[in-house]
Amino acid sequence: MTLTTTLPANTADVTVELQTTGSRMNFLANPFGTDLDLTGIYSWPGGSNIPPTGPQVWTYDPVAKTFVTGATSVPAWTGFRVRSKGTGSAARNLTIPASAALTGGARVAARETEAVPGLRFTLDGVDGDGTSRIADRSFAIGFSDEARAAFDADEDVEKFQVPAESYALIGARAGEAFLGYDARPFANAEIPLAIEARGTGSRFTLRWDADALPAGLPVVLVDLVTGREIDVRTQSSVSFDVRTLEAFTDVIPSSDFADGANATDRFVLRIGTSASAEAAITEVELTAIAPNPSTGAARVSFALPEAGPARVTVYDVRGRSVATLVDGPLSAGRHEATLDSGSLAAGVYVVRLEAAGAVVTRQAVVVR
């Protein structure tokens, strides 16, 4: 569809009032007939109403079907997203200045900013026909002394839902949240990374840039399917296969954010400790179940802070025990058990870990 008008292109500044509640996401657009320079957005009138740290501006790439952070410009009449600061004593406005409109085919250089300690990831694959690329360019983890490990709407950003029939998403799980940007403190942590691939091929490559990682902070990417551990400082990519879902047909998603319900836990990013560093384990942990959902066997990873009896049991939705994976004494440290989901009916199950006086549960899904 093409919209046309005989009116001249806008050449005046445009001021908008920013939404400061809820997600604080604002869908704006380039109001000019030429590309808009985004590199100076923090110096625009009202630019101080945009948080200075973490990704705050997103554009959309309809070819690779991905949101993109860090774009230097946006084409004429094209939308982009901006996150504002929270509610203040007065309305928060942002002026899109005509001086930021590029003329004569001008190009802009990337905005130079102080690198935030962290990791930026990209996910690359192809569609189900193998003819078009599919990507995700909007996932990163940042580190800050003030950040909280739990989900915090002021510092974390939920994962955007791609408005397309087929796409691929990678995000971090933080409790019930599915994040495109996860702000973390400088502390030991295990961050589950999940992938939703719909209408795509099964082969993907995950890449990362570790240049901004703080010196001396160990970071290991654990493949939950193969058990392989990758030092992100010595390797910059990994290729793997993932379970794919059917493409949308009649209706494409219209929600702003992806809920992660259909995403498969595939990796764990282990921060601040190596896999064998048992001293970092201070509580009973049911780390991950992968693949999840599963059709055959799934790996159940867990950790114990002290030696002693442990029991891992699987329950169905009626609360009936359908499988016991572990029942006996184990040493302190990290362990794995195998869930034979091939012997279970399709549905939702609860994996329950009992050890050291604690009980931890995690949901597992079996599909056919």
| pLDDT tens string 266-286 | 898 988 754 444 446 889 999
pLDDT at 294: 84
pLDDT at 278: 43
Place 81 in a pLDDT band, splitting at 50, 70 and 90: very high
Contact (CB, 8 A) for 293 and 339? no
pLDDT at 329: 82
Place 1 in a pLDDT band, splitting at 50, 70 and 90: low
Alpha carbons 30 and 77: distance in angstroms, whole number: 5
| pLDDT tens string 325-355 | 999 888 788 888 889 888 899 999 999 999 9
Mean pLDDT for 181-188 is 86
Least confident segment among 182-186, 202-206, 233-237: 182-186
As its CATH architecture, domain 281-368 has Sandwich (2.60)
pLDDT at 346: 92
- Percent of the chain clearing pLDDT 70 (strictly above): 94
Closest CA to 125 of 198, 227, 228, 224: 198
Mean pLDDT for 26-47 is 94
- Those residues whose C-beta lies under 8 Å from the C-beta of residue 163, and which sit 6 or more positions away, are 252, 253, 254
pLDDT at 205: 98
Mean pLDDT for 225-253 is 91
Whether the predicted pLDDT of 31 surpasses 60: yes
Whether the predicted pLDDT of 115 surpasses 90: no
0.85 surpassed by pTM: no
User: How do 177-184 and 133-143 pair as beta strands?
Assistant: parallel
pLDDT at 59: 93
Domain residue extents for the chain: 14-100, 115-275, 281-368
The mean pLDDT value of the chain amounts to: 88
User: How do 219-223 and 297-304 pair as beta strands?
Assistant: unpaired
Mean pLDDT for 18-34 is 93
pLDDT at 352: 96
| pLDDT tens string 138-177 | 999 998 888 888 888 888 999 999 999 999 999 998 878 8
**CA angle 103-104-107, nearest 5°?**
75
Place 308 in a pLDDT band, splitting at 50, 70 and 90: confident
